[in-house]
Amino acid sequence: MKQIIFLGRGGQGAVTSSQVLAISAFIDGKQSQAFPNFGVERTGAPVRSYCRIDDKKINLREQLKEADYALILDPTLTKNLNEKITSLIIVNSNKKPVDLGLQTNAKVICIDITKVAMEKIGKPFVNISALGAFAALTNEITLESLEKAVLQQMGAKGSIVEKNIEAVREVYKISKNDLQK
């Protein structure tokens, strides 16, 4: 089973991000579960959301204490990551991983997702595009299933969906290039 922690700020869409990941993994033929760290909604407050992906039915309902991956949508939240991450931490940041001050044995990769979002969407909507980085860097989901999942979750929202998908593809490409460096 793979476990993923999402960190974002209220309104940034970390919860939606985890939901789209769960949908995407399911489209890939896996079992999945996404749930927020239950709290009262407050714009700007740190928000945690979780996702589990497995080949078998997921029975666990406990909150995550550690995870394979973390996806941090706001670079100022790196200090809020209390959970042990075993594999990879993806941070939306234009800095270098060493400059983030993360105490971890996991690999840390920074992708400037906000920049792509501003270019492609025109607004700093990073929650969906960040999954492009997740798909590229972890291979836990395919880009194809991710695009389908975005359509399923945001289908009714019009032109913003296409822009998001463009941003997903761009972030995916940048992340793949980053891997080869």
d(CA 109, CA 133): 10
8 A C-beta contact, residue 45 and residue 109? no
CB of 125 to another protein, least distance (A): 20
CA gap 95, 132 in Å, rounded? 19
Query: Quick one: 19 or 164, whose CB is closer to another protein?
Result: 19
Nearest approach, Cβ of residue 40 and another protein (Å): 7
Distance CA 147, CA 165 (A): 6
User: Cβ 18 to another protein, closest distance in Å?
Assistant: 8
Phi, psi of 84 (to 5 degrees): -75, 125
Q: How far is the CB of 100 from another protein (least distance, A)?
A: 28
Residue 66 vs 119, nearer CB to another protein:
66
DSSP-derived 3-state class of residue 83: coil
C-beta of 34 vs 167, nearer to another protein: 34
Residue for token digits 């790196």? 78
For another protein, the closer of residues 131 and 174 by Cβ is 131
Tokens read off for 124:
């700093």
73 or 91: CB nearest another protein = 73
What residue has token string 């025109």?
122
Binding-site ranges for another protein (CB under 8 A)? 18-19, 22-23, 26, 31-36, 38, 40, 58-63, 65, 152
Q: What's the CA dihedral at 101, 90, 52, 146 to 10 degrees?
A: 170
Residue 162 CB, nearest approach to another protein (Å): 22
